[in-house]
Amino acid sequence: MSRLTWWKTIERPRHQEKTMRSALRPLVVATTALAAAALHLPVAASAPTELQPEDLPRGADIRGAHIEDGDLVVGERRVDVGGEFAHLLGRSGRSWMVGTSDADGQGGRRIVRVRPDDSIKVVKRGVSLFESVLSANGRFVVVPGRGTERALPVRVFSAATGRLRSERDFPHYPEIMAMDGRRVILSSWETGVQSWNIRTNTLSVITRKPANLLDVRNDLLAVYTKDPYRGGCVRLGRLSSPRTTLWKSCTERLTSISPGGTRMATIDLLADGLGPGRVWEREVDGTLLNHYATNWFGAIGFESNTALLLEVNGDTLSSTVRCSGGSCANATDPEPVQMPRLSPSRRAGLSGSVAPAAGAWRTQRP
């Protein structure tokens, strides 16, 4: 049986450890906050659909591009991209951009371009795979370098040649959220969401609130109103008009948006550790469509505007499950649950997440 690796959208980059000091408070604080948040849940909330892979039928395979057993899979096409682990960044013209590394995700790191003829071109070596972001048009890769609290270098490279296009230092370890046209969008808890114009090398503030999730294609931006451990909530609005409120919740946060921007997947606001145990599927105005539960979920993303893919880790088996219209089926063959290797440098947190590139299913860390 094959093993799919996904990128977990709620996972926080390693350089965000200092900026997310509130996420590292004693467990008793988090527990208290969770209990308080639970008081705001609707009294008449319907019971979730419990997902266990052994109880579900086998449906169609994953349709979008994804990583399977370290290979890039696009329909019937399968390409060995090298390395023990692979992380899909997204599409670049007729090619695909993939990060590869050793099995632990640390050594042998590189970003490669998989061409239409299945040939591989190494674009960059020694870069951080999980914090790197492919631009919306697929022309550039934005990569954070090694830095300090005062100055973290952020570099923009050509996705075709690896040539440096622009570079700038930023304080407070910002997370790269997206690149759209000439602007790179970054977020940190200290500065909020900023836009860096790489042509003029100027900065502008989009909002002083830190990002929860950004989808530039659908002009959607979810922010934290304040520290969620101190009563903060999540507000979904427009990137072009951040003060607009489409939906607000003090018990859930966004983790994925559908390709057309009409639906979203949410999880518990303070979900941490292995992964959330509950997922809500909603319209972007908050209308509840479906509610799912299992032991813990890994990757969460939309395959289409109406089909949600969930990495389900049940009591004994795990699989990628496709749910559409409340009906669910396995999209991969169930396998025994494998507990991921966690360390302080790979702790899940409340930092921002970026909507996956169109047609691409991102990979989870080893």
260-299 tens-digit pLDDT: 999 999 999 999 888 999 999 999 999 999 999 999 999 9
Residue 350 falls inside a structural domain = yes
Residue 7 falls inside a structural domain = no
Q: Is the pLDDT of residue 106 over 50?
A: yes
What's the CATH number where 327 sits?
2.130.10.10
How many other C-beta atoms lie within 10 A of the C-beta of residue 278? 16
CB 310 within 8 A of CB 321: yes
Number of domains in the chain: 1
Q: Is the pLDDT of residue 43 over 70?
A: no
Token pair recorded at residue 259: 């390709």
Residue 275 falls inside a structural domain = yes
Residue 361 falls inside a structural domain = no
Token pair recorded at residue 143: 């990569």
Residue 105 falls inside a structural domain = yes
Provide the residue range defining the domain that includes 35: 14-41+50-354
Residue 21's nearest CA partner among 230, 165, 199, 198 is 230
The three-state secondary structure class of 152 is strand
The predicted structure's pLDDT at residue 316: 97
Q: Is the pLDDT of residue 167 over 90?
A: yes
Residue 6 falls inside a structural domain = no
DSSP conformational letter for 27: H
DSSP 115-150: -TTS-EEEEEES--TTT-EE-TTSSEEEEE-S--SS
Residue with tokens 């009563």: 231
Residue 168 falls inside a structural domain = yes
Residue 213 falls inside a structural domain = yes
Check residues 137 and 18 and name the one with the higher pLDDT.
137
Q: What is the pLDDT of residues 189-243, one digit of tens each?
A: 999 999 999 999 999 999 999 999 999 999 999 999 999 999 999 999 999 999 9
The predicted structure's pLDDT at residue 46: 74
DSSP conformational letter for 211: E
Q: Is the dihedral of CA 333, 334, 338, 340 positive or negative?
A: positive
Q: Is the pLDDT of residue 5 over 70?
A: no
pLDDT over 90, % of the chain: 74
